[in-house]
Amino acid sequence: MNAPTTTPLPPVTLCMVTFNSAKLLPETFTRLLAVTNYPAARWLVVDNASSDGTVELIRQRWPEVRVEQMGSNLGYPAAVNRAFALADTEFVAQINPDVRVEPDWLAPLVAALVDDPAVAMAGGRILRPDGTTQFCGTRLHPWSALLGSRGARDPGAHTTRVDFHSPLFLVRRSAWQAVGGFSEGYAPGYYEDAELGFAFRRARRPVLFVPECRAVHLGSATFKLLPQRSFMRFYERNRLQFVFRNYPPGWLALHLLGEGAKALESLARGYPREYVAAWQTLWRERVAIRLFRASWQRAAGQLNVPRP
């Protein structure tokens, strides 16, 4: 009797972008390597010119991990794009250094992409350190950029379609490349993932929430260290860029109805100059934004993105 045949597991490159992450890695990276029970995994770290010994730590403690150190801090979107360009597998996972994965997190994501070749991205349930749910995939809606809301109702134990994932996901590299990956204009970070969600939606490439995948997000380990004004300077700029680059006309009109409240919020929280500067940047980049909108409108063949 012939022995039963088994389909080999597709190889997966597991990528991490680091920047001064030496304090996080002994907990998060040690756990990542220990509980990722996936024999076809390959490991890749792209380091954004850390100065705290991050690269030296990885090379000393985990010599099996490939490390590529950038000559300068490229920002998160560009570094992820660099990691995906270096990966030589069709399936690529991105895990932030402040994410603590739970056992057997990867195999369910791989199965979701294998089972449906149309699926571009899959991710799981992201928990806060206290065990409550932070993200379970994100749904885009007209007021996402006003509310700072991830916009997704908790689907419980059911696999369901969402729009994008952060800070952990598995993506089909060919789908990523087809839509251009992360837009590097969102450096140092924030809203590049939301724009990617619109790109996948326009390309009719599903993104799935897979409940069997679970991880704990310890928090914005890099950005939370910045003073509020420094953070809000690029956050407001990226927020407005995302809206004006991607929202179809109906969504844009609804968003603008609420933008006055955002202006009042900036005044109350003490960053009115950063808010005004974001609008000034938007004005300077109006031609590039118009060209970007025209490109996706032509490609989609319609003005409105599909309904959530």
pLDDT, tens digit (0-9, with 9 covering 90-100), for 230-284: 889 999 999 999 999 999 999 999 999 999 999 999 999 999 999 999 999 999 9
State which residues form the domain around 292.
226-300
Phi, psi of 245 (to 5 degrees): -80, -30
In a domain, 91, yes or no: yes
Looking at the fold, whether 113 and 256 belong to one and the same domain comes out as: no
Looking at the fold, whether 157 and 180 belong to one and the same domain comes out as: yes
In a domain, 1, yes or no: no
Looking at the fold, whether 260 and 186 belong to one and the same domain comes out as: no
pLDDT at 292: 95
Q: How confident is the model at residue 1 (pLDDT cuts 50, 70, 90)?
A: very low
Residue 274, by phi and psi: left (phi above 0), alpha (psi -120 to 50) or beta? Answer: alpha
In a domain, 4, yes or no: no
pLDDT at 117 over 70: yes
Looking at the fold, whether 17 and 90 belong to one and the same domain comes out as: yes
10 Å Cβ neighbour count for 218?
17
pLDDT at 96: 96
Looking at the fold, whether 175 and 266 belong to one and the same domain comes out as: no
- DSSP string across 256-273: HHHHHHHHHHHHHHT-HH
pLDDT at 301: 54
Looking at the fold, whether 178 and 230 belong to one and the same domain comes out as: no
Question: Three-state DSSP class for 285?
Answer: coil
The DSSP call for residue 226 is S
In a domain, 5, yes or no: no
Instruction: Output the six-digit token pair for 161.
Output: 């379609």
Looking at the fold, whether 181 and 232 belong to one and the same domain comes out as: no
pLDDT at 43: 97
- Please name the residues in contact with 231: beta carbons below 8 A apart, sequence gap of 6 or more: 223
Looking at the fold, whether 111 and 251 belong to one and the same domain comes out as: no
In a domain, 308, yes or no: no
Query: Considering 200, 223, 246, which residue would you say is the last residue of a domain?
Result: 223
pLDDT at 16 over 70: yes
Looking at the fold, whether 214 and 238 belong to one and the same domain comes out as: no
pLDDT at 99: 96
Query: Considering 163, 191, 223, which residue would you say is the last residue of a domain?
Result: 223
Look up the CATH number of the domain holding residue 191. 3.90.550.10
Looking at the fold, whether 271 and 259 belong to one and the same domain comes out as: yes
Q: What is this structure's pTM? A: 0.91
In a domain, 7, yes or no: no
Looking at the fold, whether 170 and 98 belong to one and the same domain comes out as: yes
pLDDT at 156: 85
Burial class (CB in 10 A: 0-12, 13-18, 19+), 286: exposed
Helices (H), 87-203: 106-115, 144-147, 173-179, 192-202
pLDDT at 2 over 90: no
124 to 21, 161, 166, 177, 213: CA distances (angstroms): 23, 11, 9, 22, 4
Q: CA 226 to CA 222: how far, in whole Å? A: 8
In a domain, 209, yes or no: yes
pLDDT at 231: 87
Q: CA 125 to CA 213: how far, in whole Å? A: 6
Task: Determine the distance from the C-alpha atom of residue 148 to the mean position of all C-alpha atoms in its chain, rounded to a whole number.
Answer: 15
Query: Considering 172, 190, 223, which residue would you say is the last residue of a domain?
Result: 223
The crossing angle, in degrees rounded to 10, of helices 192-202 and 286-300 is: 30
How many domains does one find in the chain?
2
Phi, psi of 113 (to 5 degrees): -75, -35
Which pairing describes strands 168-172 and 207-217: parallel, antiparallel, or unpaired?
Answer: unpaired
Looking at the fold, whether 237 and 207 belong to one and the same domain comes out as: no
In a domain, 277, yes or no: yes
